[in-house]
Amino acid sequence: MDVVAQHEELSLEKRMNTEKERYIPALGYHWLTGLYDPVVRLTTRESAFKPALVAQADIHPGERVLDLACGTGTLTILAKQAQPAAEIHGVDGDANILKIAAQKATAEGLDIKLQQGLANALPYADVHFDRVMSSLFFHHLTRETKSAAFVELHRVLIPGGELHVADWGRASDPLMRAAFLGIQLLDGFTTTADNVNGLLPTLIQKAGFEDVCETQRFSTIFGTMSLYRARKPR
């Protein structure tokens, strides 16, 4: 290996290690992970927006689908139940929360492939997935890491593959904007600003996606939940 290649490899390893050091688990602390499901269920209208995201993805038999930052696997399980003949994968950076996801999948009798990995360094080959879904994840990331993650998703999708995202979006009215202050106080103003300013579609488009659009909105006690759709060019 030449000096330049070795330097690049070490730099990549350093960046990945730095991201691991900064990794924040669900709800901010590992000891709160067990409360994740009831908190999300009670505060985000999960029973409405996650089925809507799965329906939007329109998963077909035989397709390979990734749930990015799958957490406890709620969306992953919904996707498998909606299309049992698809190959459903879930990836998350938190090994503890993946154990919960595995237990839930086993309890439902579902074959779901779970793996630990980071959004900006996904452990998958190029052009590997037909669909990627993600929910309530990108508002945790800095703009730099958001952009890197969207580039990674573009890499792992097949040409014509689709990206489907549910996350906090631009507030639909002043009440929803005021409600979102609770999320910003919990998760940070820097990481959540892109969401509430409506910049996620722009960042997705800059990563190489086309036909980027917001498809639905849901009003919640913590602000506006938006669904987005994008496609990798053929």
Query: Would you say 133 and 67 are in contact if contact means Cβ atoms under 8 Å apart?
Result: yes
Where residue 41 falls among pLDDT bands split at 50, 70, 90?
confident
Query: Would you say 168 and 195 are in contact if contact means Cβ atoms under 8 Å apart?
Result: yes
Looking at beta carbons, which pairs linking 90-94 to residues 24 or more positions away fall under 8 Å? 90/66, 90/114, 90/115, 91/66, 91/67, 91/115, 91/116, 91/117, 91/122, 91/123, 91/124, 92/116, 92/117, 93/20, 93/23, 93/69, 93/117, 93/118, 93/119, 94/23, 94/25, 94/26, 94/33
| Count of domains for the chain | 1
69: left (phi over 0), alpha (psi -120 to 50) or beta: left
Cα angle 70-114-92, degrees, rounded to a multiple of 5 = 40
Say whether pLDDT at 31 is over 70.
no
| pLDDT at res. 55 | 98
Say whether pLDDT at 21 is over 60.
no
| pLDDT at res. 33 | 56
Q: Output DSSP code: residue 33.
A: G
pLDDT digits (tens, 9 = 90+) for 79-94: 999 999 999 999 999 9
Angstrom distances, CA of residue 154 to CA of 1, 3, 36, 178? 28, 29, 29, 34
As given in the structure block, the two tokens for residue 227 are 């669904």
Query: Would you say 169 and 195 are in contact if contact means Cβ atoms under 8 Å apart?
Result: yes
Q: Could you tell me the CATH number of the domain that includes residue 73?
A: 3.40.50.150
Average pLDDT over the chain, rounded to whole? 88
Residue 72: count of CB within 10 angstroms of its CB: 25
Q: Which domain holds residue 128?
A: 3-231
As given in the structure block, the two tokens for residue 150 are 């969207």
- Residues of the chain with pLDDT > 90, as a percent, come to 80
pLDDT digits (tens, 9 = 90+) for 189-221: 999 999 999 999 999 999 999 999 999 999 999
Determine how β-strand 113-116 pairs with β-strand 223-231.
Answer: unpaired
As given in the structure block, the two tokens for residue 17 are 């290690």
Residue with tokens 């709620």: 74
Determine how β-strand 223-231 pairs with β-strand 157-168.
Answer: antiparallel
